[in-house]
Amino acid sequence: MIIRQASFRDLARIELLYREATEVEQPAAHTAADSPVPQATLLRVWHALTMSLSSLMPITDTSDALLVAEDPGEGVVGFIQAQAPSGPVKSWQIVNFCTDSSAAGHFAKEQLLAALCNHGLEHGVQRFHVRLPLDHPLVTVFLEQRFVQYAAEQIVYRDHAATPAEGASGLPLRNARRDDIPAIYLLYLRTTPSQVADFEGPSLKVWQATFGQGLIARIGRDDVRHVVAERPGVVAWAAIAPPGPTRPTQLTLMCDGHDTSLRDAFIDEVLRELPEGPASCVLRHYDSELIRALQQRGFAVYGTQLLLVCELAQKVRLRSPPRRKKPVLAAAQVARAVPNSGGGNPGLRVLRSTPEGSSQA
């Protein structure tokens, strides 16, 4: 089996593999019995959030990777694709991974994933991460290839806008500026468990480039609206991505959870800013209070996805070589005092260096 980079001639086969994988996953999609959203709609929303076909073009960007597995007898039996966020941090997200249901496609899974990691090492990639629905058949494949889970995410969705509460909440919002990024990072540290923050955002530079695929780093540079609440200092932040032809409005929230009234007032104000139509929000497992607050306002939990990460760069402690002691005396001739055999003052001693290193009077 040959693992190679994809070309334009492979696009038709790649699209066919993608459609076949979607048809296989659709009957097995897990949905609660009392979910108000049809199962087909849930699957379309999830694919629009994490597995959009629009990411297949263009494939000529050197920062991205699109590899295919080609069998001599069956042709292209699988493909894998990763995207790189904007920023100096080398972290790629795997957005597409599909293989044929044949035996060749089964054995191509591990080879494609290993080839992608090797390809990333050649481009200086330090981390790969992927989001998969709970109980997805590919979870086992990733875990066998050194991927580890460090977070679970709940996807909440509402089909129609709920009627906002009447009256002002008393918590004004303002548009976020780029100089608010350090304050938003401190809010992230306060609202995130230390074991997650140490891995995901050990420094402001790393967090700014990796959190939300560089969402914070693009403040004021794209069509995503960022708002913050102060009391005093930044106590809450939200990002509102406008809807597209294949995706609903995407909402990202972060709020200090010590004050319940603050959280409720902030959510009410943010929901007033959302446009009409469907909206979705992805929250971590430790954001249970925000999830419950959104459920009380018309959102429904329709899926759980796992966040898996593979760290290619390993920290190794190097022992420094032992420091050499500085010699007290240099390796040179040393003069010694000897009695003077000549006349004059008997207490006077004359130093004279000899070629052998001793001194004579």
According to DSSP, residue 353 is labeled B
The pLDDT of residue 39 is 40
CA distance 236 to 287: 13
Residue type, 8: F
- Cα–Cα distance for residue pair 130/305, rounded to 1 Å: 10
Whole-angstrom CA distances from 200 to 160, 203, 231, 246, 286 are: 34, 9, 27, 29, 15
Which residues face 227 on adjacent strands?
175, 238
Question: Is 173 part of any domain?
Answer: yes
Quick check: is 311 in a domain?
Answer: no
Q: Which of 176-185, 212-221, 249-258 has the lowest mean pLDDT?
A: 212-221
CATH code of the domain containing 110: 3.40.630.30
Same domain, 68 and 132: yes
Lowest pLDDT segment from 74-83, 199-208, 328-337: 328-337
Regarding whether 147 and 167 lie in a shared domain, the answer is no
Same domain, yes or no: 141 and 253: no
Domain endpoint, select from 297, 315, 341: 297
| 108 and 234 both lie in a single domain | no
Tell me the average pLDDT across 135-139.
Answer: 82
In a domain, 333, yes or no: no
Choose the final residue of a domain: 87, 119, 152: 152
- Predicted pLDDT of residue 212: 78
Q: Is residue 344 part of a domain?
A: no
Could you tell me if 282 and 171 lie in one domain? yes
So what's the pLDDT on residue 42?
Answer: 45
Last residue of a domain, one of 104, 119, 152: 152
Angstrom distance (rounded) from CA 191 to CA 15: 40
328-351 in b/e form (b: 16+ CB < 10 A) is: eeeeeeeeeeeeeeeeeeeeeeee
Contacts 24+ apart (CB under 8 A), 5-9: 5/65, 5/66, 5/67, 5/68, 6/59, 6/66, 6/67, 6/68, 6/79, 7/59, 8/59
Taking the whole predicted model, whether its pTM rises above 0.75 is answered as no
71 and 126 co-located in one domain: yes
CA proximity to 193, closest of 124, 260, 288: 288
Lowest-confidence range among 45-49, 55-59, 155-159, 305-309? 55-59
Q: Are residues 206 and 87 in the same domain?
A: no
Q: Do residues 187 and 265 both lie within one domain?
A: yes
DSSP 186-199: HHHHHHS-HHHHHH
Q: Identity (one letter) of the amino acid at 315?
A: K
Helix 39-50 crosses helix 11-25 at what angle (to 10 degrees)? Answer: 140
Statement to judge: residues 56 and 143 lie in one domain: yes
Same domain, 9 and 114: yes
Domain that includes residue 87, residue range = 2-152
Does residue 238 surpass a pLDDT of 90? yes
What are the DSSP E strand ranges found in 84-204?
91-99, 127-133, 148-158, 174-175
Residue 22 binned pLDDT confidence (cut-offs 50, 70, 90): low
**Number of domains forming the structure of the chain:** 2
